[in-house]
A and B are shown apart, each in its own frame.
Chain A
Amino acid sequence: MALSPLEWPVLRQLRGPDRLGRGKASMSHRSETLEPRTVEADKVVDSVCPFCAVGCAQRVFVKDGKITQIEGNPASPVSRGRLCPKGSASKQLVTSPTRVTKVRYRRPHGTEWEDLDLDTAMDMIADRVVKTRKQFWEWEADGKRTRRTLGIASLGGATLDNEENYLMKKLYTAMGAIQIENQARI
């Protein structure tokens, strides 16, 4: 940006009250027009910290479909806008470049990961559930009806949503899988 010669810092210094050139006269155009990036957000979304169970409220700032900032929501009666170091690192958590974003597949006895299409992976997993369920199906144990499979287990849920846990338990129960556990046991 071309500045009028009158706006050259040294002239501002001589013209204005900042004769030592340590304040107003030294301000660059960037400094003059600086704004917090959050004001440019397309939307601010209410969220909750994903780490521990205190349940600190977060505000998620989004610009062009990307997260530009996550910080505490002062309105929360639980957290009053504050976050611990983990909660404060939430943006890094969700924008981490080391997040795995493609399906990885390791074939039996394989030595390396391979690529796999998500739809194919879902079909393969469904096939395996059906097969293992049947293979380990048990109508009875010690003469008592059990109607279950001990061939399939699951671990996880404490980091997930209630709705997700609900669908998990519902589907597993209908499958007859009972070894369903999460961090609450650990």
Chain B
Amino acid sequence: MAEAHPVGFQWVMEAKRRGATIIHVDPRFTRTSAVADVHVPIRAGSDIAFLGGLVNHVLTTESYFRDYVVAYTNAANIVDEGFEDTEDLDGLFSGFDAEQAHYDPVSWRYQAPDDRSPDEEKRLQQIREDESGGGGQKESHVAAQSESHGSGGAAVPWKGKRDETLQDPRCVFQILKRHFARYTPEMVQEVCGIAPADFAEVADALVRNSGRERTSALAYAVGWTHHSTGAQTIRTGSILQLLLGNIGRPGGGIIALRGHASIQGSTDIPTLFNILPGYLPMPHANQHQSLDEWVRDDEGKAGFWGNIRSYAVSLLKSYWGDAATADNDFCFDYLPRLTGDHSTYNTVKSQIEGGCKGYFLVGENPAVGSANGKMQRLGMANLDWLVVRDLQMIESATFWKDGPEIETGELVTEDIGTEIFFLPAASHVEKAGSFTQTQRMLQWRDKAVEPPGDARSELDFYFDLGVRIRERLAGSTDEMDRPLLDLAWDYPTDEKGEVDGQAVLREINGTGPDGAALSAYTELKPDGSTACGCWIYCGVYADEVNQARRRKPAWEQDEVAAEWGWAWPANRRILYNRASAAPDGSPWSERKKYVWWDAEKGRWVGRDVPDFVPDRAPDHVPEEGATGPDAIGGQDPFVMQTDGKGWLFAPVGLADGPMPSHYEPPESPVRNPLYGQQNNPTRRKYAHPANPINPSWSEVFPYVFTSYRLTEHHTAGGMSRTLPYLTELQPEPFCEISPRLAAERGLEHGGWATIVTARTAIEARVLVTDRVRSLRLGDTFVEQIGLPYHWGRNGISQGDSANDLVNITMDPNVYIQDKVGTCDIRPGRRPRGPALLAFVDGYRRRAGVDPDDPTDGGADR
């Protein structure tokens, strides 16, 4: 955190000054470790084993926050009899289809209640039909919908039976206990390389600092997510925090440290394939051919997500305005449909294969920043046209004349037919707009100066592009052009023709029947009388005021600082804060008081906007048949979950199991000590000859590498390698290795090393340092090589890109790559030109990479 988010880290230092214990778990000893109380080095890719060990510790020592766990989590829920655990199946859960490499989650569901309501009966019948016919939820896991379950969790068909004594052997609590029983401190040592004494220190500190009086926070970044088990790592953190009662309370939580100015905003208002604004799912061709079908799975379910139709219709109204009417399903049919995984890596494959010919790169540099850079460049070399919009001349715009494949002869400039437009972009001070930072807070920026030369904002570019496309299609009677021609695309512009960003923000906020800005998403209607571009952002323009532009100084507010910027949803700063009070509505403790029930006023009150129905009493029991927010019970703080509970066990919604299990990265020198199953069985392999996988346990590739950021640089380097003041601070790519590895391979401090995988080889300068530790796993040592990934061939300082080494094997839930791999390292610079190809090919042959199935890795055989 000190390394990549130094200014955010001031609060950690502040906490430390006040006595907090700071624990840093990281493969390398970073600037964070340097000031932490405890640094725990861990083998890259073994986080679930470590966190699972903590879960096991909390369960076996009975140090969980029992009142919280019983009331607010699904610990008491009884799971279907058909469920079988990894304990029973040596690393697999029930429902695994080996051929398709995916799970049918039907046996993970809560046991159906005996006294079923008519609605629940209907759902049971539907599930039985699905079981016999295939489809429904099973479909969702092959259809890239794990993330598109939206703002809420996936819908459960019923709240199910509960045993609040937590004794029933099939209740979630007991299942969890059995599942994590083998994650002992000894196992943690064997998998992660963490000594039992160090593990105990962490476990004790965490337990000591959780409960009624105290809370602990977990902060993470892509060290947790960039794995073929990434989503499940976060799940393990969630389970741990739920058990300790650290969710929805001040000082608690799981804090995602996101790495780009508005990466949160670009997820909320997504430029992502599988969702629409506000986490509405993109329709899927197999399931959603009408508005009704689109919202069917979620509509009416308990919680605010049950009002999905209001959010969906309001979005369609903001997209297609007057053209969207009840008679035409509010133009639902204008939405394109998915048929599977259309994520960036699959798109690249499609580019290489000729199925995708036009490409916009907007402030992204995949030639350096995406996994397997070669595939990125091969894809771009096979386009009809490419538009690159950036501040500087990045590698993704120049691959055709100086990319690594030009050097090796794999690509020849004159043979590359891609037509490239480089359009200069406006910087953050040359346009007005809002970023959403990592705590979901929108902050508006005013414009300071005019952009230079041809540089323009994306707002202007896309508006202008839309205008020109619509001009070209004007008068078309082709049905395919209707969505463009009917599009609400009339934004006010100033004298220079620039779009007023506040008008766009107001459209995102939404308007009511009278045309006035709405104040809250609870005002949205399913009848087309409201329009809203992103329901969770509704309120950012309340009272016709740009709330994101608020800048009341910190010293004029309390620590919640509710009048600085605007946080979604509803300017709420801590999500699920109903959980900061006990089931009866009183604060868990005076010290951790945050939001509580005021019986006199009959309302929830406190320091933050309560994340609950404002007047829902703690003892409220929903009426039979209640839907949406009405179905939220007074003790159901997780208002976006259909059962109102925090999930220790995910009965639906995840592609790779209802509970996390440790699997080795697709490339690993280690045999999975936990199960016979080596890798995540549902990981998404990426079959392509340019993406060969190093076989597991290969002696040819005996070392682990992992990539990361340095404080002095930013991601793919376009915003830092180009600046003298940053470049001089870290002027060259390097690898960090332990003294033991240096001795083993004859590597000299300050000298050159070549790092080799089955994809390619790169060179970097060597830093031999005690900060990189040789990890002992049982009788063997595992050596890890650290690689900052900021460099490419342009800019002030140049060098090979670490991402060229990274293979593409993806998490099955979110299609994010695993950045941990195996490699060899040897002294000296890498071969130049075509010799590099022969060099890597020699490695592939010696390692036995299967030329017919190069992405297999051999572990599943």
Contacts of A161 in B (CB 8 A): 262, 265, 431, 433-435, 445, 457-459, 501
Q: Are A153 and B468 in contact (CB under 8 A)?
A: no
A136-173 interface mask toward B, CB cutoff 8 Å, 1 = contact, 0 = none? 11010110111111111111111111111111111111
Residue in A92, A101, A154, A167 with the greatest tally of chain B CB atoms within 10 Å:
A167
The reply to whether A80 and B357 form a contact with Cβ atoms under 8 Å apart is no
A168 near B362 with CB under 8 A, answer yes
Contact present for A96 and B417 (CB under 8 Å): no
Query: By the criterion CB–CB under 8 Å, are A169 and B344 in contact?
Result: no
Greatest chain A CB density within 10 A among B450, B456, B565 is at: B565
Chain A positions within 8 Å of B34 at CB level: none
Q: Which of B262, B335, B555 is A147 in contact with, Cβ under 8 Å?
A: B335
Q: Which of A5-13, A17-25, A32-40, A118-126 contacts B (4 or more CB under 8 A)?
A: A118-126
Complex Cα–Cα for A122 and B471 (A): 13
Contact B350 A150 (CB under 8 A): yes
Chain A residues with Cβ below 8 Å from B420 are: 104-106
**Contact at A174–B259, with CB atoms within 8 Å?**
no
Tell me if A14 counts as interface (CB < 8 A to partner B). Answer: no
Could you tell me if B465 and A93 are in contact, using CB atoms closer than 8 angstroms?
Answer: no
Residue of B nearest to A50 (CB): B428
Chain B residues with CB under 8 A of A130: 469, 472-473
Task: Give chain B residues whose Cβ lies under 8 Å from the Cβ of A88.
Answer: 725
Contact B347 A173 (CB under 8 A): no
Shortest CB distance A28–B (Å): 28
A90 to B391, CA, bound (A): 13
CB neighbours of B334 from chain A (8 A):
147, 173-174
Given contacts A57-B443, A83-B7, A132-B385, contact A151 B357 (CB under 8 A): yes
A48-B428, A160-B262, A168-B271 known; A103 and B421 CB under 8 Å? Answer: yes
If A51-B261, A67-B449 touch, whether A160 touches B723 (CB-CB below 8 Å) is no
Out of A105, A159, A167, A176, which one reaches B504, CB within 8 Å? A167
Q: Are B714 and A51 in contact (CB under 8 A)?
A: yes
Q: A55-B437, A151-B358, A185-B816 are in contact. Are A158 and B266 (CB under 8 A)?
A: yes
Contact A124-B421, Cβ < 8 Å, known A94-B430, A156-B360: yes
- Binary interface profile of B, 427-467, with partner A (CB < 8 Å = 1, else 0)? 11111011111110111111111101111111100111110
Is there contact, CB below 8 Å, between A179 and B370? no
A147-B272 contact given A77-B561, A94-B429, A105-B422, CB 8 Å threshold: no
Interface string of B354-368 (1 = CB under 8 A from A): 011111111110100
Contacts of A111 in B (CB 8 A): 401, 413-414
A15 at the interface (CB under 8 A from B): no
CB distance from B455 to the nearest CB of A (A): 6
Asked if A27 CB lies within 8 Å of chain B CBs, one says: no
Within the complex, the shortest CB–CB distance from A138 to chain B, in Å, comes to: 9
Q: Is A109 an interface residue (CB 8 A)?
A: yes
Binary contact readout B538-578 vs A (1 if CB under 8 angstroms, 0 otherwise) = 00000000000101111101010100110000000000000
> Does residue A30 face the partner (Cβ distance < 8 Å to B)?
no
With contact pairs A75-B554, A181-B347 given, residues A158 and B336 touching in the complex (Cβ less than 8 Å): no
Is A2 an interface residue, CB under 8 A from the partner?
no
* Residue in B265, B427, B453, B816 whose CB lies within 8 Å of A94: B427
Query: Would you call A109 and B415 a contact (CB within 8 A)?
Result: yes
Q: B357–A135 contact, CB under 8 A?
A: yes
Residue B251 CB within 8 A of the other chain: no
B452, A99: Cβ atoms under 8 Å? yes
Query: What's the count of A-B pairs with C-beta under 8 Å?
Result: 486
Is B203 in the interface zone, CB < 8 Å from A? no
Check A29 for interface membership: any CB of B closer than 8 A: no
Q: Does B676 contact A (CB under 8 A)?
A: no
Let me know if B269 and A175 touch, CB within 8 A.
Answer: no
Contact check, A144 vs B286: say whether CB atoms are below 8 A apart.
yes
Contacts of A104 in B (CB 8 A): 393, 397, 420-422
Chain A residues, CB < 8 A from B268:
162
Counting CB contacts under 8 A, is A26 at the interface?
A: no
A160 and B266: CB pair below 8 A?
Answer: yes
B371: interface (CB < 8 Å):
yes
Q: Are B462 and A56 in contact (CB under 8 A)?
A: no
A89 touches B726 (CB 8 A): yes
Residues in A with CB closer than 8 Å to B435 are 48, 50, 53, 55, 161-162
Stretch of B168-176, B479-487, B678-686, B836-844 on the interface side: B479-487
B6 (CB) vs chain A CBs: closest residue: A84
Q: For A127, list chain B residues within 8 Å (CB).
A: 472
Residues of A within 8 A of B127 (CB): none
> Please, how many angstroms separate the alpha-carbon atoms of A74 and B507 in the complex?
31
Kindly state the separation between the CA atoms of A158 and B261 in the bound complex, as whole angstroms. Answer: 7
Contact: B356 with A45, CB < 8 Å? no
Contacting pair A85 B712 (CB below 8 A): yes
Q: Which residues of A contact B554 (CB under 8 A)?
A: 75-77, 80
A52 touches B261 (CB 8 A): yes
For chain A, the bracket of interface size reads 35 or more
Q: Contact: A159 with B261, CB < 8 Å?
A: yes
B430 partner residues in chain A, CB cutoff 8 A: 94
Q: How distant is B384 from chain A, measured CB to nearest CB, in Å? A: 6
Q: Give chain A residues whose Cβ lies under 8 Å from the Cβ of B553.
A: 74-75
The docked-state distance in angstroms from the alpha carbon of A111 to that of B815 is 36
Contact of A108 with B508 in the complex, beta carbons under 8 Å: no
Neighbouring B residues of A174 by C-beta, 8 Å: 319, 334, 483-484, 487
**How far is it, in angstroms, between the C-alpha of A83 and the C-alpha of B9 when the chains are bound?**
11
Q: Does B282 contact A (CB under 8 A)?
A: yes
Rounded to whole angstroms, the CA-CA distance of A129 and B419 in the bound complex is 13
Q: Chain B residues near A79: list those with CB within 8 A.
A: 7, 10
Q: Which residues of chain A are near B549, meaning CB under 8 Å?
A: 46
Q: Which residue of B lies closest to A100 (CB)?
A: B424
A146 to B282, CA, bound (A): 11
Residues of B within 8 A of A49 (CB): 261, 428
In the complex, whether A98 has a CB less than 8 A from a CB of chain B is: yes
Residues of B close to A158: CB separation below 8 A: 259-263, 266, 363-364
- The answer to whether A101 and B424 have CB atoms under 8 Å apart is yes
Mask of B370-408 contacts with A, CB within 8 angstroms, 1/0: 110000000000001101011111000100110000000
Interface string of B264-295 (1 = CB under 8 A from A): 11111111110011000010011001000000
Known pairs A121-B421, A161-B431, A173-B335; A183 contacts B260 (CB<8 A): yes
Contact between A77 and B564, CB atoms less than 8 A apart:
yes
Residue in A closest to B564 when the chains form the complex, CB atoms:
A77
**Chain A residue nearest in CB terms to B484:** A174
Closest to A73 in B: B551
The CA-CA distance from A84 to B457 in the complex, in Å, is 25
The interface residues of chain A lying within 8 Å CB-to-CB of B423 are 103, 118, 121
Residue of A nearest to B794 (CB): A98
State whether B508 touches A159 (Cβ < 8 A).
no
Q: A45-B447, A87-B7, A173-B319 are in contact. Are A185 and B400 (CB under 8 A)?
A: no
* Residue of A128, A168, A173, A185 most packed against chain B (CB within 10 A): A185
Provide the bound-state CA to CA distance between A74 and B489, in Å.
Answer: 39
A3 interface hit (Cβ, 8 Å): no
Docked CA distance A95–B419 (Å): 29
In angstroms, Cα B276 to Cα A57, docked, is 29
Please give the distance in Å from B339's CB to the nearest CB on chain A.
5
Which chain B positions have C-beta within 8 A of A163?
433-434, 459, 501, 504-505, 508
Q: Does B155 contact A (CB under 8 A)?
A: no
Across the A-B interface, give the 7 residue pairs with the lowest CB-CB distance, nearest first. A55-B437, A161-B433, A101-B453, A156-B362, A157-B271, A148-B336, A77-B561
Name A's B-contacting residues (CB within 8 A): 43, 45-57, 60, 62, 65-67, 70, 73-80, 82-90, 92-94, 96, 98-109, 111-113, 116, 118, 121-130, 132, 134-137, 139, 141-142, 144-186
* 28 residue pairs A–B, Cβ–Cβ below 8 Å: A52-B4, A52-B258, A52-B714, A53-B262, A73-B551, A86-B712, A98-B393, A103-B422, A103-B424, A106-B400, A109-B416, A126-B468, A126-B471, A128-B419, A135-B357, A145-B285, A154-B359, A162-B268, A162-B436, A162-B442, A162-B508, A165-B266, A173-B319, A173-B336, A179-B346, A181-B344, A185-B343, A186-B344
